Amino acid sequence: MATTRFSFTILNRHHSGNRGADPFRHRKTTALERATKTHKTTDMTDRADNSKPDPAQPDEAALRARLTPEQFKVTREKATEPPFSGQYHDHKKAGIYHCICCGQPLFDSAAKFDSGSGWPSYHQPIDPNALTTHQDHSHGMTRTEILCAACNAHLGHVFDDGPRPTGRRYCVNSASLDFKPRPSQPGPQPPNPAR
Protein backbone atom coordinates (compact mmCIF):
# COMPACT_ATOMS: atom_id res chain seq x y z
CA MET A 1 0.00 0.00 0.00
CA ALA A 2 2.84 2.40 0.77
CA THR A 3 4.31 1.85 -2.69
CA THR A 4 0.97 2.77 -4.25
CA ARG A 5 0.71 5.96 -2.17
CA PHE A 6 4.28 6.95 -3.09
CA SER A 7 3.56 6.40 -6.78
CA PHE A 8 0.41 8.48 -6.43
CA THR A 9 2.42 11.29 -4.86
CA ILE A 10 4.79 11.38 -7.83
CA LEU A 11 1.92 11.26 -10.32
CA ASN A 12 0.01 13.90 -8.40
CA ARG A 13 3.03 16.23 -8.42
CA HIS A 14 3.59 15.64 -12.13
CA HIS A 15 0.03 16.32 -13.19
CA SER A 16 -0.89 19.06 -10.75
CA GLY A 17 1.74 21.52 -12.00
CA ASN A 18 2.55 22.27 -8.37
CA ARG A 19 5.69 20.21 -8.02
CA GLY A 20 6.62 21.65 -4.64
CA ALA A 21 3.44 20.66 -2.85
CA ASP A 22 3.35 17.17 -1.34
CA PRO A 23 -0.09 16.32 0.09
CA PHE A 24 1.46 13.51 2.16
CA ARG A 25 4.36 15.48 3.64
CA HIS A 26 3.01 15.26 7.21
CA ARG A 27 2.54 11.47 7.29
CA LYS A 28 5.17 8.94 8.35
CA THR A 29 7.31 7.56 5.54
CA THR A 30 7.79 3.87 4.89
CA ALA A 31 11.14 2.12 4.57
CA LEU A 32 10.67 1.91 0.79
CA GLU A 33 10.05 5.66 0.55
CA ARG A 34 13.04 6.47 2.77
CA ALA A 35 15.28 4.26 0.63
CA THR A 36 13.99 5.89 -2.54
CA LYS A 37 14.41 9.39 -1.11
CA THR A 38 17.92 8.55 0.08
CA HIS A 39 18.81 7.32 -3.39
CA LYS A 40 17.37 10.46 -4.99
CA THR A 41 19.15 12.71 -2.51
CA THR A 42 22.46 10.99 -3.22
CA ASP A 43 21.85 11.34 -6.94
CA MET A 44 21.08 15.05 -6.55
CA THR A 45 24.14 15.53 -4.37
CA ASP A 46 26.31 13.90 -7.02
CA ARG A 47 24.89 16.23 -9.65
CA ALA A 48 25.43 19.23 -7.41
CA ASP A 49 29.09 18.28 -6.98
CA ASN A 50 29.47 18.01 -10.75
CA SER A 51 27.82 21.38 -11.33
CA LYS A 52 30.28 23.56 -9.46
CA PRO A 53 30.51 27.10 -10.80
CA ASP A 54 31.83 27.00 -14.32
CA PRO A 55 34.76 29.38 -14.81
CA ALA A 56 33.16 30.42 -18.13
CA GLN A 57 30.02 31.55 -16.27
CA PRO A 58 30.70 35.17 -15.41
CA ASP A 59 30.01 36.47 -11.93
CA GLU A 60 27.03 38.85 -12.03
CA ALA A 61 28.66 41.39 -9.69
CA ALA A 62 31.85 41.41 -11.76
CA LEU A 63 29.80 41.85 -14.95
CA ARG A 64 27.85 44.74 -13.45
CA ALA A 65 31.15 46.44 -12.59
CA ARG A 66 32.75 45.75 -16.02
CA LEU A 67 29.85 46.34 -18.43
CA THR A 68 28.07 49.58 -19.21
CA PRO A 69 24.56 49.84 -17.73
CA GLU A 70 23.08 49.23 -21.22
CA GLN A 71 25.28 46.17 -21.84
CA PHE A 72 24.26 44.71 -18.48
CA LYS A 73 20.54 45.38 -19.04
CA VAL A 74 20.65 43.79 -22.50
CA THR A 75 22.74 40.72 -21.69
CA ARG A 76 21.62 39.90 -18.15
CA GLU A 77 18.10 41.40 -17.97
CA LYS A 78 17.03 40.73 -21.60
CA ALA A 79 16.48 44.37 -22.56
CA THR A 80 16.56 45.57 -26.17
CA GLU A 81 18.53 48.58 -27.35
CA PRO A 82 16.63 51.05 -29.56
CA PRO A 83 16.97 50.37 -33.30
CA PHE A 84 19.74 52.21 -35.19
CA SER A 85 21.38 53.18 -31.87
CA GLY A 86 23.98 50.40 -31.49
CA GLN A 87 27.57 50.79 -32.57
CA TYR A 88 27.47 47.72 -34.85
CA HIS A 89 24.17 48.16 -36.75
CA ASP A 90 26.03 49.72 -39.73
CA HIS A 91 29.47 48.27 -39.01
CA LYS A 92 31.30 46.92 -42.06
CA LYS A 93 34.79 45.93 -40.90
CA ALA A 94 36.04 42.35 -41.34
CA GLY A 95 36.40 40.34 -38.15
CA ILE A 96 34.64 38.35 -35.49
CA TYR A 97 31.86 39.47 -33.14
CA HIS A 98 32.31 38.01 -29.63
CA CYS A 99 30.04 37.85 -26.59
CA ILE A 100 30.61 40.99 -24.49
CA CYS A 101 30.25 38.97 -21.28
CA CYS A 102 32.54 35.97 -21.81
CA GLY A 103 34.41 36.50 -25.09
CA GLN A 104 32.86 33.50 -26.90
CA PRO A 105 33.12 33.98 -30.72
CA LEU A 106 29.55 34.30 -32.03
CA PHE A 107 29.38 35.73 -35.56
CA ASP A 108 31.77 36.27 -38.46
CA SER A 109 31.46 39.57 -40.34
CA ALA A 110 31.14 37.52 -43.56
CA ALA A 111 27.68 36.42 -42.35
CA LYS A 112 26.53 40.00 -41.59
CA PHE A 113 23.95 41.68 -43.82
CA ASP A 114 21.85 44.84 -43.81
CA SER A 115 18.36 43.80 -42.78
CA GLY A 116 17.08 47.37 -42.48
CA SER A 117 15.92 46.54 -38.94
CA GLY A 118 18.38 48.82 -37.14
CA TRP A 119 20.16 45.95 -35.37
CA PRO A 120 23.18 43.95 -36.52
CA SER A 121 21.90 40.96 -38.48
CA TYR A 122 23.65 37.74 -39.48
CA HIS A 123 22.47 34.80 -41.55
CA GLN A 124 24.33 32.26 -39.39
CA PRO A 125 26.46 32.00 -36.24
CA ILE A 126 30.18 31.29 -36.45
CA ASP A 127 29.46 27.81 -35.04
CA PRO A 128 26.01 26.25 -34.46
CA ASN A 129 27.10 25.37 -30.91
CA ALA A 130 27.97 28.98 -30.08
CA LEU A 131 24.30 29.82 -29.46
CA THR A 132 21.35 28.35 -27.64
CA THR A 133 17.71 29.25 -28.23
CA HIS A 134 14.72 29.71 -25.96
CA GLN A 135 11.06 30.44 -26.69
CA ASP A 136 10.34 34.04 -25.66
CA HIS A 137 6.70 34.93 -24.99
CA SER A 138 7.31 38.51 -23.81
CA HIS A 139 5.58 41.61 -25.20
CA GLY A 140 2.53 39.65 -26.34
CA MET A 141 4.34 37.70 -29.06
CA THR A 142 6.24 34.46 -29.49
CA ARG A 143 9.83 34.73 -30.68
CA THR A 144 12.95 32.60 -30.54
CA GLU A 145 15.50 34.18 -28.23
CA ILE A 146 19.19 33.59 -28.90
CA LEU A 147 21.68 33.32 -26.05
CA CYS A 148 25.42 32.81 -25.79
CA ALA A 149 25.90 29.08 -25.19
CA ALA A 150 28.92 29.71 -22.97
CA CYS A 151 27.47 32.22 -20.49
CA ASN A 152 23.74 32.50 -21.22
CA ALA A 153 23.93 36.18 -22.19
CA HIS A 154 20.85 37.45 -24.02
CA LEU A 155 21.85 38.42 -27.56
CA GLY A 156 18.59 39.03 -29.42
CA HIS A 157 16.23 36.89 -31.52
CA VAL A 158 16.33 34.74 -34.65
CA PHE A 159 13.73 34.96 -37.41
CA ASP A 160 13.02 32.95 -40.56
CA ASP A 161 13.09 35.93 -42.93
CA GLY A 162 16.81 36.15 -43.69
CA PRO A 163 18.74 35.79 -46.93
CA ARG A 164 20.13 32.67 -48.53
CA PRO A 165 21.83 30.35 -47.86
CA THR A 166 20.12 29.87 -44.46
CA GLY A 167 16.96 31.96 -44.65
CA ARG A 168 17.63 32.97 -41.03
CA ARG A 169 18.06 36.45 -39.55
CA TYR A 170 19.94 36.53 -36.27
CA CYS A 171 18.93 39.98 -35.03
CA VAL A 172 21.42 40.94 -32.32
CA ASN A 173 21.81 43.83 -29.90
CA SER A 174 25.10 45.70 -30.46
CA ALA A 175 25.37 46.00 -26.67
CA SER A 176 25.83 42.22 -26.41
CA LEU A 177 28.76 42.14 -28.85
CA ASP A 178 32.48 42.90 -28.82
CA PHE A 179 34.09 43.18 -32.26
CA LYS A 180 37.65 41.99 -32.87
CA PRO A 181 39.13 42.83 -36.30
CA ARG A 182 40.52 40.00 -38.34
CA PRO A 183 44.32 40.07 -38.20
CA SER A 184 45.64 41.38 -41.46
CA GLN A 185 47.47 38.80 -43.53
CA PRO A 186 50.81 40.04 -44.76
CA GLY A 187 50.86 40.01 -48.54
CA PRO A 188 53.79 38.94 -50.67
CA GLN A 189 56.77 41.14 -50.01
CA PRO A 190 58.32 42.91 -52.99
CA PRO A 191 61.83 41.70 -53.79
CA ASN A 192 64.53 43.58 -51.98
CA PRO A 193 66.59 45.53 -54.51
CA ALA A 194 70.24 44.56 -54.43
CA ARG A 195 72.55 47.31 -53.25
Q: Which residues are catalytic?
A: 171
Query: What 3-state DSSP class applies to 180?
Result: strand
CB atoms within 10 A of CB 146: 24
Helical residues (DSSP H) of 51-193, grouped into ranges: 60-66, 69-77
Which residue(s) pair with 83 in the sheet? none
CB atoms within 10 A of CB 67: 20
HSE of 170, CA atoms in CB hemisphere, 13 A: 27
CA angle 45, 54, 136 (to 5 degrees): 95
